[in-house]
Amino acid sequence: QVQLVESGGGLVQAGGSLRLSCAASGIIFSMHGMGWYRQAPGKQRELVVSITRGGSTAYADSVKGRFTISRDNAKNTVYLQMNSLKPEDTGVYYCNVQYWSRDYWGQGTQVTVSS
């Protein structure tokens, strides 16, 4: 059974940093690309960044230069380092994996950036 568990969210002032973690189980982690999405209040969920199994990354323009995704295959974990946070980064952040053509999501972790 595929399971994704996010952690690391919280309340931070603008300009601050947070590091999110997503621990995966039920899959051969090293064989799968992973993604971080976010959903702000009243808005649709959007892709923030993805990382392939080979380590290639793709960032949304809004976070380029501020966010960094990484993965540790030995720990079955993907990370999202978020620096220079802005109030518009506020939302629930979700980890995602596609497995057998189905999307799996974690429970989400709340990130709130105060101005």
pLDDT at 110: 98
pLDDT at 7: 97
- Who's near 102: CB < 8 A, 6+ residues apart? none
pLDDT at 14: 98
Residues forming beta bridges with residue 85, ordered by sequence position: none
What is the rounded CA–CA span in Å between residue 114 and residue 112? 6
pLDDT tens readout for residues 57-71: 999 999 999 999 999
pLDDT band at 42 (very low <50, low <70, confident <90, very high): very high
